[in-house]
Amino acid sequence: MTDTPNSVASSSRPSAHSQRYDRQLRLWASSGQASLEKSNILIIGANSLSSQIIKNLVLPGVGSFTILDDANVDPADMGVNFFLQPGQSQGRSAAQEMASLLSQLNENVEHNFKIESPQALLASKPGYFRSFSLVISVNQPPEFDLALSDLLWSIEPPRPQVPLLKIRSSGMVAEMTIDIKELGIVETHPDSIIDLRLTNPFPELVAFAESFNLATTDSLTHSHIPFVVILLKKLEEWKAKNGGSPPSTKSREEFVTLINSSRQPGNLDEENFDEAIAALGKHVWRPLSSDHVGAGGVPSEIRELFKDARCEVLSSHSTNFWLMVRALRDFVDNSPTKSLPLTGSLPDMKSLSATYVGLQNVYRNKATEDLETFTRILGQVCVNAGVRGGSGAIDEDEIQAFVKHAGYLKLIRGRSERERRERPRTDAVTMAFLDPVNPCTFQHHIAFRASDLFYLKHARYPGSSRTFSRNLRNQDLDAQGRSRGSKPDHGADGGGGEGEGEGDPRKAKRSKSNESDEMVANGEAAGVGAGSDVEMAVETCVNHEGHGEEEEEEEEEEKEEEEPCFEEDVRLLAKEAESVIKSLGISTDGEEMEKIHDSLKEMVRSGHCSLPPTTALMGGVVAQEAIKILTRQYVPADDLVIYDGIQQALGVFKL
């Protein structure tokens, strides 16, 4: 007996593991946590934004992460990246330093780093990128992102697909594009999965309701008739009087009067009737007005799944999601009322305990019966599809979760980066600018795209020096610029300004031109003093005014390294934006242009610098979507998320 005092407590108390994750287990349960812990994530780019993203993935406990980057830490990083050690990290590999500091947040997470150029690695070992469960590419060059996207998109089953998140940020704005080929989500966590079938009751429920008498004179009994029973009876009564048709919202008042007519005069304890009236919207009108689950119907989104080719043609490679969708279709076909399986959940309501338990049993028994039928059908589906293991191939918990959420499934079928660029959804773009309520954020996408084109042509980002740009992206601009080929009118200018004697670019400071130590070392005038703002940068433009415009461009580019000029950059960027605007089908004479132009100016002004509130917020947004994808719970954004810190808005677009 000596060991008993702790036995029960120790066997029922949570482990340290679940204590640590307690607050999140209540969001995605142990199934979601297990998926998270199995994941291995690749983060490309060791910078302040990626450190925030990784922090938000390490804390909830992903399986492992790997940071890929060959850059070293420089002083400007220290100011914005919380996961570098002052006085220690400087000059070392950013990927290594970040990996080791971030790993201290959670010893359950495996951390790795790879000091290699992402571009080089993509060219030499594409298979490396396919070995992760998720890839997050942070502030990488557009052509790298596109090549990576092409690579990951080409993965075919049975190899698991690798979703790709591509993030860009500049000052107060940021965006994320999500490449998901296909993601079937079962646990979408709708507001409620309660399905009372009031307007389409099953026989056992009808029988249960019949055992009550609304005209009883016993006040205690009367005030404890559950609202479900009140509504079932009143709906029957209404239908009997109205030729079998249920009440519509138009006849709401009359129906409420009908309900109230059964209240017991003088009985003040009739909250069950209040509950019945309060439940009308949720459990009667809404189910009736649509193919809402609560009416025993099949929502249109689920019917779409039934028609999908993947549901139609099954094979041994079919995912569990599709096997179960097919079983669901067969279940509905076999159901006398053509209904989905019942969830069996019941809301709290005023009633006697025994009545409540009785009612609960009616719903539960039906739900259990439906689950058994579904499982049997699923077994047959699996066998027919040639799935190894047949009916036992799918875990019982997974089946249960699927049946519970059968009315709320969500299929995300995304687009690749190439599709988005070559065949953008121009209607979505038009809608983006028409939102009457929310501030429009889409213009920033155009600015980011234009900025990419600018970069290809000028070997730097608008508003920032080449040194800064090169370090931001950490790559050899000469190679990129030439191999990709700039537009013909600029020919080989792409990398023209790159000086030979600059030494190892990785050692260069990641600072904007006006602070670059390097330039001072080179004996060049720094243009403006440290701490200048845009106005001062604009001033330097004045010096350029004497130059001719186009024919001098080449010469200008030579100087751009030292003196990016605000107005000139805005002009050049606007030129790049033209083709983007055209490809997205945006009319050039509307208000859109003003928004776009403002955004372009902001892009130049901020020069792709990192601002802590933006990286913090975006780090949260990116990790949140990553978690939804990894856990296959909740519905992730699809597929372009744009944050605007100036208007304090965040929009989601399907481009």
Partner 1 sequence: MSNLESPPGQRQSYAREILGEGLFSKLESSKVLVVGAGGIGCELLKNLVLTGFGYIEIIDLDTIDLSNLNRQFLFQKQHIKKSKALVAKETASNFNPSVKILAHHDNVKDPKFGVGFFQKFDLVMNALDNLDARRWVNRMCVASNVPLVESGTTGFLGQVQPIIKGLTQCYDCTPKPVPKTYPVCTIRSTPSTPIHCIVWAKTWLFNQLFGEDDENEEQELDKAVADGEDAAEIDNLRKEARQMRDLRTSLISWSNEEELRSSAEKVFRKVYKQDIERLLSMDEMWKHRPVKPVPLDYDNIVAPPNPSEADGQAASVGPGAEEAEKGEVGATQGSSSGLKDQRSLSLKENVELFIQSTVALAKRASASPTEPLSFDKDDEDALDFVAASSNLRSKVYSIEEKTRFQVKEMAGNIIPAIATTNAIIAGMLVIQSLQVLKGAWQEARYVNLSRGTNRLLTSLKCEPPSRDCPVCQETYVPVRLNVAKVTLAQVIETLKKPRANKGGEEDGSGGEGGLGMDPELEVSTYEASRLLSDPDFDDNLEKSLSQIGIVNGKVLSVVDEDGGKANVNLLIEEDDAMGEGQVGLPEAGRLPDLLDKAPKVEERKEEDEDDGFVVEEVDKKNLPLPPSATRGKRKRVGEEKGVEVELEGKKRELENGHEQADEEPDQPSSKKLKGDENVESRQDQDVIVLD
Beta strands (DSSP E) in 36-156 are: 40-44, 64-68, 110-114, 134-138
- Residues 36-75, one symbol each (x = binds partner 1 by CB under 8 A, - = not), give -x--------------x--xx--xxx-------------x
* Contact with partner 1 (CB under 8 A) among 128, 306, 356, 433: 356
Contacting partner 1 (CB under 8 A), which of 218, 372, 552, 558? 218
The three-state secondary structure class of 346 is: coil
Per CB under 8 A, contacts with partner 1 among 130-169 are none
Is residue 194 within the footprint of partner 1 (CB under 8 A)?
yes
Which of these segments, 158-166, 200-208, 346-354, 370-378, binds partner 1 (CB under 8 A)? Answer: 346-354
Which residue in the set 277, 393, 526, 541 belongs to the binding site for partner 1 (CB under 8 A)?
277
Distance between CA atoms of residues 470 and 334, nearest Å: 63
Question: What's the CA gap between 44 and 32, in Å, rounded?
Answer: 25
Does residue 428 bind partner 1 (CB under 8 A)?
A: no
Token pair belonging to 13: 């108390």
Using rule CB under 8 A, residue 400 touches partner 1? no
Judged by CB under 8 A, the chain residues 540 through 579 that form the site for partner 1 are: none
Judged by CB under 8 A, the stretch of 18-26, 207-215, 297-305, 367-375 that binds partner 1 is 18-26
Interacting residues with partner 1 between 473 and 512 (CB under 8 A) = 511-512
Which of 202, 610, 630, 655 touches partner 1 (CB under 8 A)? Answer: 610
Q: Is 598 exposed, middle or buried (0-12, 13-18, 19+ CB in 10 A)?
A: middle
Of 348, 500, 550, 589, the residue at the interface with partner 1 (CB under 8 A) is 348
Neighbouring residues of 450: CB distance < 8 A, sequence distance ≥ 6: 573, 574, 576, 577, 580, 600, 603
Rank residues 383 and 520 by Cβ distance to partner 1 and give the closer one: 520
What's the closest the beta carbon of residue 566 comes to partner 1, in angstroms? Answer: 12
Is 393 a binding residue for partner 1 by CB under 8 A? The answer is: no
**How many residues interact with partner 1 (rule CB under 8 A)?**
134
By CB under 8 A, tell whether 420 contacts partner 1.
no
Closest Cα to residue 646, out of 574, 598, 610? 598
Rounded CA gap, 189 and 295, in Å?
Answer: 20
Whole-number Å distance between alpha carbons of 73 and 46: 9
Phi then psi dihedrals of residue 559, to 5 deg: -90, -15
- With CB under 8 A as the contact rule, which of the stretches 29-37, 240-248, 331-339, 369-377 interacts with partner 1? 29-37
Return d(Cα 469, Cα 481) in angstroms, integer: 13
Neighbours of 646 (CB within 10 A): 14
Residue 534 CB, shortest distance to partner 1, in Å, is: 8
CB of 23 to partner 1, least distance (A): 4
From residue 179, alpha-carbon distances to 267, 372, 634, 648 in Å are: 61, 37, 17, 25
Q: Least distance in Å: CB of 571 to partner 1?
A: 21
Among 124, 131, 154, 192, binds partner 1 (CB under 8 A): 192
Give the C-alpha separation, 412 to 44, whole Å.
25
Question: Any contact of residue 201 with partner 1 (CB under 8 A)?
Answer: no
Q: How far is the CB of 271 from partner 1 (least distance, A)?
A: 6
Q: Scan residues 93-112 and list those touching partner 1 (CB under 8 A).
A: 104-108
Q: Single out the residue of 548, 375, 86 nearest to residue 383, CA to CA.
A: 375
